[in-house]
Structure 1
Amino acid sequence: MADPHIKSEMDWIDYTSVILYRLGFLLAGPSVLLLPWQTGYPVLELCFVAAAFCACCLHIYMKSFRMTLQAATWVGLLCYLFGFEMIGLGGAFVTLGGLCFKEYFCFKVPGLPAQPLLLAGLWGAMVLGFPVVAQTLAGISALLFLVVSVAKWRMPLHYDIGDKSKYEI
């Protein structure tokens, strides 16, 4: 997590990673919203793209948290590729939910700390075959993704980077 009062020098990799991270949140909203509706579009894949954008480009000082959130998406993607789609989706949800929880401390969006639980409930409702519950949870979750995405895009890009000397490598 960054310190907004510190403006580290940014190179093209920093700008690209911040933009991809924010795009991940932007894509997460519609992909999560459409997951339980069986639209025929590659919504599950879009959800993995959103999680991968966030996972590969997240800026968290503490290495153990950063690696845990990244590993959840990469292991989830492997599960998806080997035919365990719902287990893989759970990994993507761990990353997206965890990052929403982290972003709560930046933006204080009401309900954002509940995003990991909403995504867990959505995953469970989809696995157990409760479409109305899944659609309701997907709508609430998508709204939270939209709110955090708008908040992220409104702030300067350097806020996501913070003090480069604080990152555990």
Structure 2
Amino acid sequence: MADPHIKSEMDWLDYVSVILYRLGFVLAAPSIALLPWQTAYPAQQLCFVAATMCASSLHIYMKPYRLTLQGATWVGLLCAMLGFPLIGLGGCFITLGGLCFKEYFCFKVPGLPAQPLLLAALWFALALDAGPIAQILAGISALLFLVVSIAKWRMPLHFDIGDKSKYEV
């Protein structure tokens, strides 16, 4: 989590992790948008990649929250590998939705508190094969991912790191 007023010294790993984290949000936007359309574009797999990029590189001071969001992605990936991709997608949605919620409290990006609910509704719409509803929810969710992506890339990289001394290891 970040304290924008604090500029901790960043090493190369900090730069890589912040860039990976932000690219995860960028990748989430088109992947989520295309999920209900059943295109040749591997949207579901790229949602897993986006969630993994964010989960592997997130910066949250409190260890229990960090491990919960990371664990949701890893359990989701395991479910997908075991033949339960829709359940796995739910794990990715937990991570991505939770991170959007966190980003709202860190940086006040508008609309983000709704993202976890939108992703939950999208998951149910996909599970129930409610095509038009899933398409609308995916479009709104993708738009919010685009908004957070643009907002994140407009910020200096050190905003994502915050005060390194506050991280629970």
TM-score normalised according to structure 1 size:
0.98
Name 1:106's counterpart in structure 2. 106
Contact kept, 8 Å, 2:2 with 2:106, in 1: the verdict is no
Q: Hey, what's the Cα distance between the residues in 2 that align with 1:105 and 1:84? A: 33
Runs of 4+ in 1 over 6 A off after TM superposition: none
Deviation at 1:106, TM superposition (A): 2.8
In the alignment, is the contact (CA less than 8 A) between 2:109 and 2:151 conserved in 1? no
| d(CA) in 1 for partners of 2:74, 2:19 | 20
In the other structure, the counterpart of 1:80 is 80
RMSD, matched Cα:
0.7
- Pairs within 5 Å for 1:38-117: 38-117=38-117
Distance in 2 between residues matched to 1:27 and 1:99, nearest whole Å: 14
Provide the secondary structure at the position in 1 that maps to 2:148: helix
Q: Distance in 2 between the 1:42 and 1:35 partners?
A: 8
Counterpart CA distance in 2 for 1:110 and 1:148 is: 8
For the pair 1:29 / 2:36, whether they are aligned, the reply is no
Partner in structure 1 of residue 138 of structure 2: 138
Partner of 1:15: 15
**How far, CA to CA, are the matches of 1:20 and 1:47 in structure 2?**
14
**Match for 1:113: what amino acid?**
P
Distance 1:107 1:149 in 2: 12
Point out where structure 2 has 5 or more consecutive residues left out of the alignment. none
Give a deviation string over 1:56-80, Cα, whole Å, max 9, x none. 0000000000000000000000000
Q: Deviations over 1:55-108 (max 9, x none)?
A: 000000000000000000000000001110000000000000000001111332
- Of stretches 5-14 and 133-142 in structure 1, the one that deviates more from structure 2 is 5-14
Matches of 2:107 and 2:15, distance apart in 1 = 21
Deviation of the 1:110 alpha carbon: 3.1
Q: Distance in 2 between matches of 1:96 and 1:8?
A: 26
Across the two proteins, how many residue pairs are aligned to each other?
169
Letter in 2 for 1:157: L
C-alpha deviation, 1:144, in angstroms = 0.3
Rounded Cα–Cα distance in structure 1 between residues aligned with 2:132 and 2:55: 30
> CA offsets per residue over residues 2-31 of structure 1, 9 Å max, x none?
111111111110000000000000000000
Provide the residue aligned with 2:4 in structure 1: 4
